[in-house]
Structure 1
Amino acid sequence: MSDKQIDGSDAENVRFVEDTTAWATWLYYAESRTQAEVAKALGVSRASVANYLADARRRGLVTISLAPDLLEQANLSQRLAARFGLKGAFIAPHVSEEDGDPTLLRKRLGIAGAQILLSRLRKDMTLGVAWGRTMLELANALPERSQESLRVVQVSGSSLGDDASSPEACTLFIANRLGARCHNFHAPAVVTTPELRTALLQEPSLKRHFERVHSCSTVVFGVGELNDETRWADGNNLIQPSAEDYMKAGAAGIVIGRFIDAQGDALEGALSGLQIGMELQDLKAVPERICVAGGDEKLDALHACLTGGYVTDLVTDKATADRLLREDK
């Protein structure tokens, strides 16, 4: 290709390039042209250019990275980190009532969580993944990568609940986005008897999976709130009656599928001895534990999770951060 500037008259010359998305990406990002200028150079519409640029982000040709410092609102994040003994606290913008969309906060937290997670990825690491709607938004916000040495491990047993945000779906989605090896948990999150759980844990395949779980250097997870609408990712409805009993017993929230009280201690109850997956003490043993959560409905659960020492790095929103610091518990 010649050194001369590409302009509208050269549109025909550029068309021989097979990947128009790559050309649009180069002209827009590398040469800082406007979308109108890119459209003229390529002989296409501005709408097509916008589609090419969106495709480039999906394919990982270009990534838009927010520096962690941008999310760390210095005074607030430092106070939050000091209050709960965190390595880092990352604050996403507040979502006001005027914004209207109730899912916007989860989307913002997912974007922020994805940026922090990307900054922590290392070669040959093992990443543990929990489940839930916030984890789904985090997966949606990840750019496509090719990190074949990375292992992504499901830390909670599988379920028959919401297909999109179930433990197995979230793990697979994140692994696919990162181009990593995926290790799903081939066992249910909850079984019907302690004897069945004991028998399943003797299976060689589950023993190998627990070895992967225990080798995680980083785990990314959310917290589950408890209220009258609480639902567990379990299609057999084994959990809902138990959730109500746990609430009566003082449960403040759910962390990696385990009920905790306001101090963050595990609560014994109807599900004791029936769950398969990472235990709370296993979570605490992981060096890096990134919790992504926010919103009024999750405040009690998040406060309990932080008080219990399950988090090393928190990704939340400004309103939740302010309230966590105001809470006198």
Structure 2
Amino acid sequence: MSKHDKKLDLAARAAWMYYVAGETQQDIAEKLGVSRQVAQRLVALASEQGLVSVSVNHAVADCMTLAQQLQEKFSLAFCQVVPSGNVEGGGLQQMIAVAGAEVMAQTLKSEQPQIVAVGSGRTLRATINELPELDRPQHSCVSLIGAIASDGSCTRYDVPLWMAEKTQGRYFILPAPLYADSVDDRDLWCNHRIYRTVTEKAAQADIMFVGIGQVSPGCPLNADGFISDDEVTTLLADRVAAEMLGHFIGEEGERAATALDSRLTSVRLTAHTQRNIVAFAGGSEKHRAIAAVLKGGWISGLVTDEASARYALAASA
């Protein structure tokens, strides 16, 4: 790589941090290991060289290499890696969301009617928030996960509705709680005519957008009351690392059998599927989860950050 290309790479990193993650120039200087004056010049260079419009148009070389390595290692059809540096939390989620929205828009801008199946998760919701308003009433958004809480209210897991509002398309809710109260209760939910209609439509989806959840104390499923502290402890003792649509996945990518399976109402997932399943996830708290999902071949596409990419490659070496 030439000296000029290296400088553009550094400017692109600074642009991601400044324009997307909302970092200050002092933050950028500390994380890139340069002076504040150099950080200021890098941000200015990114603008001068046309790297920044509404999005950052220059792909960082290291991130491109990591994306290619992930594709080859885990047989992905698609992968995009955003530069993370030492950015974490909301800033990193925003970077993944901006990149992920561009990926989603490629499907949603199609004039041909699309059936888009959507899962849940905070990163997925943030990604949909970054989508432009699209006039595509011919598209259908189908939920892959129940969004009904135990008291009958809709939960924050009702992410597909947000996408339907962006596209002005039809929205099909999965009429069930994530976990039913009992096995008999699950059978009642899953044998309902509308439930069967929606899951059949989900099976015909052209693409599936999903999040990857980690399993740890205070993780979203635990914080939102879907699994108890004791259940988290049991899952961790069984080396469960990830969760997708309420399905638990072990550290080596295997489907982990749990006591919750008999009450799960989500659309069924299978590993090494030929379906087009794109996941959006990143951050140090999700390193083990992302690596497990990749090892198990649960997805065909991924938008993540470079630290998560490096972890997954090292974990599978």
**Which category describes the TM-score, using the shorter chain as reference length?**
0.7 to 0.9
User: With structure 1 as the length reference, what TM-score do the two structures score?
Assistant: 0.72
| Residue of structure 1 in register with 2:42 after alignment | none
Amino acid aligned to 1:80: L
Q: What is the correspondence of 1:31-180 to structure 2 with a 5 Å cutoff?
A: 64=54, 70=59, 73-97=63-87, 102-121=89-108, 122=110, 123-160=112-149, 166-168=156-158, 170-180=159-169
Q: Is the 8 A contact 1:126 1:152 kept in 2?
A: yes
Amino acid aligned to 1:245: T
Structure 1 position 197 matched with structure 2 position 181: no
Amino acid aligned to 1:217: D
Deviations 1:168-220 (CA, angstroms, capped at 9, x unpaired):
1x111111112221111111111121111112222111111111111112111
Q: What is the correspondence of 1:24-35 to structure 2 with a 5 Å cutoff?
A: none
Structure 1 position 308 matched with structure 2 position 305: no
- Whole-Å Cα distance in 2 between the matches of residues 85 and 143 of structure 1? 30
Q: The residue matched to 1:253 in structure 2 has which SS? A: strand
Give the Å deviation of 1:91.
1.2
Q: Is the 8 A contact 2:243 2:289 kept in 1?
A: yes
Instruction: Pick one of 220, 226, 235 that aligns with 1:246.
Output: 235
Distance 1:217 1:234, change over 3 A: farther
Amino acid aligned to 1:115: E
Q: Which has the higher mean CA deviation after the structures are superposed, 223-232 or 239-248?
A: 239-248
Number of aligned residue pairs: give it.
260
Distance 1:71 1:135, change over 3 A: farther
| Residue of structure 2 in register with 1:294 after alignment | 282
Q: Is the 8 A contact 1:253 1:301 kept in 2?
A: yes
- Whole-Å Cα distance in 2 between the matches of residues 256 and 211 of structure 1? 17
- Whole-Å Cα distance in 1 between the matches of residues 223 and 316 of structure 2? 34
Distance 1:266 1:199, change over 3 A: same
Give the Å deviation of 1:124.
1.3
Percent identity over the alignment is 22
Q: The residue matched to 2:261 in structure 1 has which SS? A: coil
Q: Is the 8 A contact 1:225 1:253 kept in 2?
A: yes
Q: The residue matched to 2:302 in structure 1 has which SS? A: strand
Q: What is the correspondence of 1:222-301 to structure 2 with a 5 Å cutoff?
A: 222-232=211-221, 237-281=226-270, 285=273, 287-301=275-289
Q: Which has the higher mean CA deviation after the structures are superposed, 125-134 or 70-79?
A: 70-79
- When the two chains are superposed, the root-mean-square deviation of aligned CA atoms in Å is 2.6
Q: Is the 8 A contact 2:283 2:305 kept in 1?
A: yes
User: With structure 2 as the length reference, what TM-score do the two structures score?
Assistant: 0.75
Deviations 1:107-159 (CA, angstroms, capped at 9, x unpaired):
11111111011113332111111111101110110000011111111101114
Q: The residue matched to 1:145 in structure 2 has which SS? A: coil
Give the Å deviation of 1:166.
2.3
- The runs of 4+ residues in structure 1 deviating greater than 4 Å are 63-67, 233-240, 283-286
Distance 1:234 1:74, change over 3 A: closer
Which of the pair has more CA radius of gyration?
Answer: 1
